[in-house]
Structure formats: C-alpha cells, structure tokens
C-alpha cells in the first residue's frame, strides 16, 4: 500500500488490523499516533496516495507512557517492544529516545548524517540498536527495518520537532494522549 492517512499512515494500518482485545490496544494506538510523524523521500502526494517515493521514514518519539503501553499490550509488534526497551539505557542520559522505521519502496541510499532530528544531525554514536542491524548504505526495495537512536534533549525542545532526510523535511508534533 502506498497511501498515507493521518500522521503515520501504514504503521497505523498494521497496528489497527492487528487483532487485539480490549482497551490497551486503543491506548497504544493513540500514544503512537500522538508521538509519530512520517517523512516521505521523493514522491508526489496524489489524493490519499503517495506515488514515486523511494522510502518512507516514520519517526517515533519514545517516552515512559509509550514504553509502558507497548510492554503491557500483548499484541504490540515485537519491533516496537524491542526498541522501546532502550528507554532504560544509560546512554540516554540527557537524551531523548526515538525509533526510526525505514520502509523502502524503491532502491534507496541512506546514511545517518542525512537524518536530522530537531537540530541534531545523526551519527553512528547516536545509534542504540546493534550497528549491524541499522539500515545504511544502498538499500533494496521492499525492506522494513526499525532502529533506535538517542538525540540530545537540547536538540529536541518544544512540542514541534523538525525532521529532515536529505532535502525532505517535516515536523513531529507532540500532543498529549
């Protein structure tokens, strides 16, 4: 599917269609919606469809509420549980945790310095995920890989966080659940 409704598009579709009982699911969906933004690399928006894009990067700001909801929801995706698990990491001192979900549509070359969160340009030192699992370099189409990064708190102040991948930019607008 190459369409995006709302803030996080396809990510929410997966979470919505995932079978789950009860209230916990709604809480996790709401928390994800309020802490996520999608940035398309290339492509044109045509109604509800994005055409010609190379990749979609979903940025998720992780906090205690999202971490707790992900771990308490038995149907939460494993990639989400794994990456929110970094929330207790000692490398997060004076830093904020973000998950970046990279989904390639066509061949795409990604290097960490191409990504800016707030005023911070990413580097290898910011990555919390095992570096062997970080999608950098020439990436094939139809690949989906999440990874966690730590961004200095001073670079992501406020309720609106600027995002940038190469020349493509957007904003992550944090709102209360």
| Tokens matching residue 11 | 């990510």
pLDDT surpassing 90 at residue 149 = yes
- Cα torsion through 60, 65, 69, 71, rounded to 10: 90
Give the model's pLDDT for residue 80: 97
Residue 33's pLDDT band (boundaries 50, 70, 90)?
very high
For the chain, how are helix, strand and coil distributed in percent, rounded to 5?
30, 40, 30
Strand order in the sheet with 144-152: 36-46, 49-62, 95-104, 144-152
Question: 52-79, pLDDT tens digit by residue?
Answer: 899 999 999 999 999 999 999 999 999 9
Are the beta carbons of 97 and 150 closer than 8 angstroms? yes
pLDDT, greater one: 76 or 50: 76
pLDDT, greater one: 27 or 147: 147
Are the beta carbons of 56 and 9 closer than 8 angstroms? yes
Q: What is the pTM of this model?
A: 0.83
pLDDT, greater one: 1 or 82: 82
Residue 176's pLDDT band (boundaries 50, 70, 90)?
low
């Amino acid at each position: 599917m190459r369409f995006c409704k709302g803030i996080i598009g396809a990510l929410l579709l997966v979470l919505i269609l995932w079978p789950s009982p009860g209230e916990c699911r709604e809480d996790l969906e709401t928390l994800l919606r309020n802490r996520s933004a999608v940035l398309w690399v290339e492509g044109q928006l045509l109604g509800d469809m994005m055409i010609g894009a190379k990749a979609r990067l979903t940025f998720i700001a992780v906090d205690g509420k999202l971490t707790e909801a992900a771990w308490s929801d038995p149907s939460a995706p494993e990639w989400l549980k794994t990456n929110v698990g970094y929330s207790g990491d000692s490398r997060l001192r004076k830093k904020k945790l973000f998950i970046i979900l990279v989904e390639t549509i066509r061949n795409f070359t990604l290097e960490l310095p191409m990504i800016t969160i707030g005023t911070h340009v990413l580097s290898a030192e910011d990555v919390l995920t095992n570096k062997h699992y970080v999608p950098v370099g020439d990436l094939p189409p139809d690949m989906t890989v999440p990874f966690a990064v730590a961004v200095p708190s001073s670079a992501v102040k406020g309720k609106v966080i600027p995002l940038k991948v190469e020349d493509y930019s957007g904003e992550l607008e944090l709102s209360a659940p």
